[in-house]
Amino acid sequence: MIVTHSRPEPYAVEFSDGKHTGLSDAIVADGGREAGFKPFALLEASLATCTAMTIRMYADRHGWALPGLIVRAKYDPSRTDAPVLHYDIDFGVTNLGPDIRERLLRVATACPVHKALSKPMTVVRSELGE
């Protein structure tokens, strides 16, 4: 579970899972100071990091070195009926055979965040205090 705490600076919000902390903030044009990640950047990071970890775990189990693995994700809200999260993968090596490359691309879609974001989702609000 992530718990947030508003900071004294306008729109800065600290978040924590109990072990690690991060900071989110609005852009200057919206009154923030850009002192932390924008909220949608955190969504992009969830997909990109989970995808990279999933690919790396699979590659490591098979003895395939991917020292330069890069995953980029970008939220695209232009379709208001169904926003899209685009992502691309750079394996960081040029000697991957096409069969290994295809397996790794398939594995990328097995990332738990990718699976969760690919399904219809309901967000439920709970009231805890006044």
Q: Supply angle C-alpha 53, 13, 121, rounded to 5.
A: 55
Q: Are residues 60 and 112 in the same domain?
A: yes
Which residues, listed in sequence order, are joined to residue 101 by a DSSP beta bridge? none
Helix axes 98-108, 39-62, angle to 10 degrees: 140
Domain that holds residue 64: 39-117
CATH of the domain at 90: 3.30.300.20
Q: How is residue 93 annotated by DSSP? A: -
Domain membership flag for residue 126: no
Per-residue pLDDT of the chain (130 residues; tens, 9 = 90+): 999 999 999 999 999 999 999 999 999 999 999 999 999 999 999 999 999 999 999 999 999 999 999 999 999 999 888 889 999 999 998 889 999 999 999 999 999 999 999 999 899 988 876 5
